A and B are shown apart, each in its own frame.
Chain A
Amino acid sequence: MNLGPHAAFILAAWAAGLVVVAGLVAWVILDFRAQKRVLGDLEAHGVTRRSAAAIKEPA
């Protein structure tokens, strides 16, 4: 692929695209793991949501 005399601009644009998209993907994955970890810790300490508690303890 010959990018001609403006190759640096084309490569810079696509490199930025790659970095930003990779950053967004990493953000959603790491955030998901963090929330799941905290939820797991809370549930391990016996903390449950009110709606979940209501399902477990029917009147």
Chain B
Amino acid sequence: MALIDLANPTRFLNFAERAMPWLIAATLFAFAIGLEQGLFVAPDDYQQGATVKIMFLHVPCAWLSMFCWGLMTVASLGTLVWRHPLADVAAKAAAPLGAAFTFLCLFTGSMWGRPMWGTYWQWDARLTSVLVMFIMYLGMIALWRTVEDPSRAGRAAAVLTLVGAINLPIIKFSVDWWNTLHQPASVFRIGGPAIDKSILVPLFAMAIAFTLLFVTLHVAAMRNEILRRRVRSMLMLQARAQGG
């Protein structure tokens, strides 16, 4: 099946039904490895001690918070440029997931910051730009709930998502452009990772597990959104039949 075939909502529902057991199994398997590596195999950091275990949660959530907005940005192009029938379904389904992972990123960062930096929060460029993204996610959810017609809401949300995408490079490069309390990039950087392999491998394992979790939840949320739209159109048909 070509990817373009999934543009049909019925085909996507069939695909979701077949893919879901495999996605769930892969996610559980990845988490079993990631949690074992992160909680029981990875050593404590020589400076940060056991608090480095927060990183195995914080970094995947930070990565997913940006990945999710990137996905919404591509979906928004699909809505505005190609009028892809599933594009705004994908964007709407992703927003609550993005908000949840961004919240976790901020919360776990705060729990890590208090013992390491001596503060739960600092208005530095990285932390503030991620907080702005969290507020934008909440705004997207509110917009989807406010406008009743999904296609009108989809176009408005797509424009706002594209505007909000400006924040992605700001988040990524904030630690380079400004003097921040948050550390600079230590995994994806010129010169290779600055983290020892004994901690890097569990980090990648957890990142893969969280990414699979996101994909599974996103496919499930898209399936729910397609069903919700069917319910809406059937209720409208019923109301029309009763009215006329």
Contacts and interface: CB of A to CB of B under 8 A. Distances in A.
Nearest to B49: A4
B108 A35 contact: no
B51 A9 contact: yes
B132 interface: no
B234 A49 contact: yes
A13 B39 CA distance: 13
Contacts of A7: 50
Q: How large is the interface on A (under 10, 10 to 19, 20 to 34, 35 or more residues)?
A: 20 to 34
B220 A13 contact: no
Interface stretch (B53-61, B65-73, B133-141, B146-154): B53-61
B100 interface: yes
B25 to A, nearest CB: 15
Nearest to A14: B57
A25 B111 contact: no
A31 interface: yes
A21 B35 CA distance: 14
A35 B107 contact: no
A4 B237 CA distance: 62
A35 B39 CA distance: 38
Contact of B54 (A9, A23, A27, A48): A9
Given A3-B50, A24-B217, A32-B224, A42 B108 contact: no
Contacts of A45: 238
Contacts of A13: 54, 57-58, 107-108, 111-112
B183 to A, nearest CB: 17
Interface in B209-244: 213, 217, 220-221, 223-224, 227-228, 230-231, 233-235, 237-238, 241
Interface residues of B, number: 38
Contacts, number: 97
A37 to B, nearest CB: 10
A16 B51 CA distance: 15
Interface in A17-51: 17, 20-21, 23-25, 27-29, 31-32, 35-36, 38-39, 42, 45, 47-50
Given A6-B50, A14-B54, A38-B231, 8 more contacts: A2-B50, A10-B54, A14-B53, A17-B57, A39-B231, A42-B231, A47-B235, A49-B233
24 contacts: A4-B44, A7-B50, A9-B112, A10-B51, A17-B57, A17-B108, A20-B100, A20-B104, A24-B96, A25-B217, A28-B220, A28-B221, A31-B224, A31-B228, A32-B224, A32-B227, A35-B228, A39-B227, A39-B230, A39-B231, A45-B238, A47-B234, A47-B238, A47-B241
